Amino acid sequence: MLAYAIGNQTISQRLFAVNESHIKPTFITATIGYGAIVIGLGMIGLMALTLGVEPMGGDMNNLIPQMVSTYLPPVFIAMFFILVIGSLSSTADSDLSALSAIMMADVYGKNLARGKADPKRMLLVGRLTMIIATAVGIVFASFSLDILVMLVFVGALWGAIVFPVIASCFWNRVTNQAFTTSVLVAMVLFCLARFELLPMSGGSGLFFEVLASIGGGVIIGLMVFGFLGRIAGFIAAALALVAMLVFATDFLRDYTVLLASLTAYGASTLVCVVMSLMSRQPDFDFATIGEQVGDYEAQRPEPVTPGGQTAAANLATQR
């Protein structure tokens, strides 16, 4: 849930759109609503496990539809499929909107336009992004990939972004290079652990378990930090790290999915912190964030009159 809330661009953009006076009730409502959905779907899986239900064709993707069609009356089956279609439509719409906003604002507006952003062209870039992303999504859907593997991969990507995103909001030492490199390194290590491209035994297994332990400490520390502040977050992270090092060593390597996901958290945190501390770049000035993020036009100097004053200052003097 932490990775979903921080790493998912659709959620991040919604958070910044909320009125400041409504932030707390929005967080509470979103937490309860999302938690209810996750727990509710998890209960269906728990029921299947308790009842000993075997998924049709051995495909785990068939388990929830199979349980719903077996144990729910026709009216609730119809409501369930309406819920599924609505959630898929909402998710697709949110993802397309978030991706188009990134392309039109960050890629085109802040980089390609070079201070000469055209609103009509920005809108065109956003629309073309939606069309291309939809086509790519249809192609990927035709491959019939395992949805669980894809979700784990997306979750790892979100997890790799969590610490750099939060740190960049509160720590002025984080650099673009540290942010990008930490995410890339975390994804590479995730793939190595998830698909067991390296043997999960001996020194390599211990290496990944240490990174996963750091990741577990980061998760606990960030959650406590959000509720109780920085000092409590550091203490909780340290205690969780020690506990993970004691109990997870020579244990997590048997659970590659969990090991890989926690490795993404730990690796991104470690690389981001080390590179930020070693960087010689000046600290980021949060007072300029509005100009750097939302200003798409280059600053144009005011015309200067023969007297050496700007036009606006000269007009004020005349008045």
Q: Render pLDDT for 281-311 as a digit per residue (tens, 0 to 9).
A: 888 877 777 776 666 665 555 555 555 554 4
- CA separation for the pair 211, 207 (Å, rounded): 6
pLDDT tens, position by position, 49-100: 888 888 887 777 788 888 888 888 999 999 988 988 888 888 888 889 989 9
Phi/psi for 304 (5° steps) reads: -105, 135
The answer to whether 153 touches 264, Cβ cutoff 8 Å, is: no
Boundaries of every domain in the chain: 146-284
Specify the pLDDT at position 139. 92
pLDDT of res. 269: 95
